[in-house]
Amino acid sequence: MTAMGYRPSATLPLWAEVRRQASRRRTQLALGFMAALPLIVLIAFELGGNRTDDDPNDVGPFGSLNDLATSGGLNFALFCLAVSAGFLLVVVVALFFGDTVASEAGWGSLRYLLAVPVPRARLLGVKLVVAGGYSLVALLLLTGVGLLAGTLRYGWHPLGSMVSSQIPEASGLVRVLAVAAYLAVSLLVVAGLAFLASVLTDAPLGAVGGAVMVWILSSILDQINSLGDVRDVLPSHYGNAWIGLLSTPAQIDDLAKGAITSILYATLFWGLAFWRFTKKDITS
């Protein structure tokens, strides 16, 4: 029997959770750092001066992107996304999703939220949506500030590419935004892992670190060629498929496979999180 006037959908309003998370120091620091990163990179380029072609230290997977980064705002934004995709964005997404439930349990406030009473599925749903929203804001801040800062410093020029001729400004902007969108989809795997870990543990650091470690392990295994086709099912296998967007015409086969793989993994992990949370005893 429910109390008169009680509506489950009215408990834990979405905007209340948005405000709660916005007031947290980790949210402010994470978003602030994502906005500051392009400025830090810009300063680094200014202090570093021009690279010489015979510089023996300028090697690595982003060597060519490094050459292109200072040739226009589009290229600078692409560089910021490229150097952040492998680790920084993974950590930020894991932070927002892994900390959201585990921190409530760690503070001892989770059981009080459920005693309001907030239905368990709604509690998880609201926290999932808010964590996704803040992760998207972080990615948009990185891209937007990179575009603005790069354009003000280096001008508005065609998007350079390592695998094709230059892409006109309008099309280049679409390509950069498409890269950001693909990164958002590919990071759903990290979001699913972190959210599941957040439900399974009362330690936020364990949830965040666990998701990041699984992603790193997947990336390491993906470098082992002897695994053959087994690598195709690794969560991080299509993490760099966004490079296909820089060719003319765009190569989207791996993009489609990567998006489908990420959505399937995320759906599985989120489903397990909801199933486990609705069954477990909440004692903290």
Write the pLDDT tens digit of every residue in 166-225.
888 999 999 999 999 999 999 999 999 999 999 888 888 899 999 999 999 999 999 998
Name residue 159's beta-bridge partners: 167
DSSP H helices, 187-252, are: 188-200, 204-222
Q: What is the mean pLDDT of residues 237-263?
A: 91
Q: Average the pLDDT over each of 67-81, 134-148, 150-164, 215-229 and give the range with the smallest value.
A: 150-164
Q: How confident is the model over 265-276, as pLDDT tens digits?
A: 999 999 999 998
Mean pLDDT of 31-46: 94
Going from the C-alpha of 96 to that of each of 6, 60, 76, 167, the distances in angstroms are: 30, 30, 26, 35
Residue ranges per structural domain of the chain: 14-45+64-279
Between 16-30, 45-59, 61-75, the lowest mean confidence (pLDDT) is in: 45-59
CB-neighbour burial class of residue 44 (10 A; exposed 0-12, middle 13-18, buried 19+): exposed
Confidence of residue 1 (pLDDT cuts 50, 70, 90): very low
* Residue 258 pLDDT exceeds 60: yes
Q: Output phi, psi for 53, to 5 deg.
A: -65, -25
Q: Is the pLDDT assigned to residue 7 strictly greater than 90?
A: no
pLDDT at residue 167, as a whole number: 87
- Which pTM was predicted? 0.87
Summarised one tens digit per residue, pLDDT across range 107-128 is 656 655 655 566 778 888 899 9
CB 84: neighbour CB atoms within 10 A?
23
Q: What is the dihedral of CA 158, 160, 165, 168, to 10 degrees?
A: -20
